[in-house]
Amino acid sequence: MRFIDDQKPPYDLTYNDCFMVPGRSEVGSRLDVDLVPADGLGTTLPIVVSNMTAVSGKRMAETVARRGAIAVLPQDIPLDIVESNITYVKSRHPVYETPITLRPGDTIQEALNLIHKRAHGAVIIVNEHEEPVGIFTENDAAGFDRFTQLQRVMATDLLTIDEGTPLETIFDRLSSKRLTSAPVVRGRRLIGVVTRKGALRSTLYKPAVDAKGKLLIGTAIGINGDVKAKAEALLRAGTDLLVVDVAHGHQRRMLEAVELIRSLSPSVPVMAGNVVTREGTRDLISAGADQVKVGVGPGAMCTTRMMTGVGRPQFSAVLDCAEEARKLGKHACADGGVRHPRDVALALAAGAANVMIGSWFAGTYESPADVLRDSDGRFYKENFGMASQRAVKARSRGESLFERARKDLFEEGISTSRMYLDPDHPGVEDIIDQIIAGVRSSCTYAGARTLEEFHQRAVVGVQSQAGYDEGRPVRTSW
Ligand SMILES: NC(=O)C1=CN([C@@H]2O[C@H](COP(=O)(O)OP(=O)(O)OC[C@H]3O[C@@H](n4cnc5c(N)ncnc54)[C@H](OP(=O)(O)O)[C@@H]3O)[C@@H](O)[C@H]2O)C=CC1
Ligand SMILES: Nc1nc2c(ncn2[C@@H]2O[C@H](COP(=O)(O)O)[C@@H](O)[C@H]2O)c(=O)[nH]1
């Protein structure tokens, strides 16, 4: 990446400060761009879902891995739950979505409680042999009370798709019947759900899978407690990526933890952070990290900079740390502060191998929280920072009341915030579509076919606030 006229500003930059100019391109189509990160992890998109309790769980993990990204389970979750989540994600189909199932005798209320847990908007009603016998969508509830059994309202003229049916055929069949989704069967037994959009997406994205073809999943670990025992348990459980994560990643205990983890497994990919300096990057890499996580204070739930004055504008932090990591043959993950596809593109232009996103994904069907409605009827989910009182309480539940009360005094981070589901993009895959459309386009503007070429060719300028505002779409007349 270079700055226009090679004029690097003498101050640090946020994503909003930056813009990219187009360059001569030989890339004929945005679909010719390969977005596989250079880190060799097995992902096919440069997106990592933050290890935040309100963001990353098993549904998030399976959904993003199916499209080529990876989610990291937070360090707050009890180890036995982490183990079962890894097993669950590894058991998911790499193409077909996991169905929500109920029995004919279950009620509309039960179906409505579950239907927003996934984006495909249907509950499949199965018999005792796990064979689909009906399908329920929200519209089927109209005019019935909540205790009505599903067998009374479900649609029974089912279109089922045989496992292995070509994706284009699935799309055509669903389109011709004006259906958005259908159960997938092996013989007569339900094995998944496929949607029209899902069939299309599966032709555009490649799942992130391990050597056995199982979906990838990462886990996070802190530096408190018995790091060795926790790391060993996560490795045994089959984590594909270990993220060693603390607010201040450039500290002795962190470096020791990374060294320890590296000694336990020479081969597991280790991401460690957070840092924003070249020195921090070097130290984490010499301790054994394959990838440094970059970002202090840019996150949407983050009060670090207001509380402490510490942090660094994210674009410059990524630029420096990624350059340092590259010199050492390693990688950087730009963590936090992403609110638009352009931010992802700028992080990649700055040299990041991956971009970690938290709060944006909290407002999706796949994040762990339940969907709530505000007084205007708009759907939202609760999000909270990992340094907030709520998260600290969860992390320290094994400690004495006294210790927990002391920790409360160190609360940092927003306790809860509302992340509204975008009615046009309520699922995490909808947001991934937006991001990837933006990033593919950015690459072709720069004339790049790969992320490495993008980093080499990107030309960045610095803009005023007015320059940034000019780029924002205008939704009403003025
Ligand atoms: N990227 C960012 O800007 C930030 C991210 N976070 C996120 O919040 C979560 C919790 O982070 P964290 O509180 O570090 O995790 P932990 O609860 O795992 O604590 C980190 C350890 O580091 C010690 N420590 C020393 N200096 C600091 C410091 N300046 N800030 C925090 N801890 C320090 C703490 O000791 P002691 O408690 O005794 O001081 C503690 O033992 C993580 O997921 C992290 O990513 C949090 C803040 C900023
Ligand atoms: N200072 C804090 N940073 C936090 C907290 N919880 C998470 N984080 C960091 O933010 C990113 C995600 O950023 P986002 O803009 O996409 O939401 C996450 O990966 C952490 O590094 C917190 O409580 N305080």
Are 472 and 17 in contact by the 8 Å Cβ rule? The answer is: no
Q: How far is C-alpha 143 from the geometric centre of its chain's CA atoms?
A: 38
- ipTM tops the 0.90 cut: yes
- Go through 193-207 and write b for each residue having 16 or more CB atoms within 10 A of its CB, e for each that does not: bbbbbbbebbeebbb
Pick from 359, 342, 214: nearest CA to 299 = 359
pLDDT of residue 365: 96
pLDDT of residue 426: 95
Separation of CA 463 and ligand 2 centre (Å)? 26
Ligand 1, residues 75, 230, 246: which to mutate, most atoms within 8 A of Cβ? 246
Reply yes or no: is the peptide bond before residue 51 cis, omega within 30 of 0. no
User: Residue 87 contacts by C-beta under 8 Å, 6 or more apart in sequence?
Assistant: 237, 238
Nearest residue by C-alpha to atom 48 in ligand 1: 247
Dihedral sign for Cα 213, 214, 215, 221, please. negative
Structure tokens given for 427 = 């699922």
* Tens digits of residue pLDDT in 278-297: 999 999 999 999 999 999 99
* Tens digits of residue pLDDT in 92-132: 999 999 999 999 999 999 999 999 999 999 999 999 999 99
DSSP symbol at 370: P
Give the confidence band of 403 by pLDDT, cuts at 50, 70, 90.
confident
* Mean pLDDT value across residues 215-240: 96
Pick from 409, 305, 361: nearest CA to 56 = 361
- Answer yes or no: is pLDDT of 415 > 80: no
Task: Report the nearest atom of ligand 1 relative to the CA of 335.
Answer: 1
Give the confidence band of 379 by pLDDT, cuts at 50, 70, 90.
very high
Separation of CA 247 and ligand 2 centre (Å)? 9
* Tens digits of residue pLDDT in 48-91: 999 999 999 999 999 999 999 999 999 989 999 999 999 999 99
Ligand nearest to the CA of 72: 2
Task: Report the nearest atom of ligand 2 relative to the CA of 414.
Answer: 23
> Residues with catalytic annotation?
302
Cα dihedral 129, 131, 137, 139, rounded to 10, equals -90
- Go through 238-248 and write b for each residue having 16 or more CB atoms within 10 A of its CB, e for each that does not: bbbbbbbbbbb
CA distance 304 to 301: 9
For 472, phi then psi, to 5°, come to -85, 130
Separation of CA 74 and ligand 2 centre (Å)? 12
Question: Identity (one letter) of the amino acid at 288?
Answer: G
Q: How far is C-alpha 120 from the geometric centre of its chain's CA atoms?
A: 18
The CB of 124 under 6 Å from ligand 1? The reply is no
- Please name the residue ranges forming H helices in 78-189: 79-90, 108-115, 150-153, 167-176
Question: Identity (one letter) of the amino acid at 227?
Answer: V
- Answer yes or no: is pLDDT of 414 > 90: no
Task: Report the nearest atom of ligand 1 relative to the CA of 387.
Answer: 8
Separation of CA 224 and ligand 1 centre (Å)? 10
DSSP symbol at 231: H
Separation of CA 163 and ligand 2 centre (Å)? 40
Give the confidence band of 397 by pLDDT, cuts at 50, 70, 90.
confident
**Which amino acids bring their CB within 6 angstroms of ligand 2?**
50, 52, 274, 295, 297, 299-302, 304, 335-338, 356-360, 385-388, 412-413
CA distance 263 to 138: 52
% of the chain with per-residue pLDDT over 70: 100
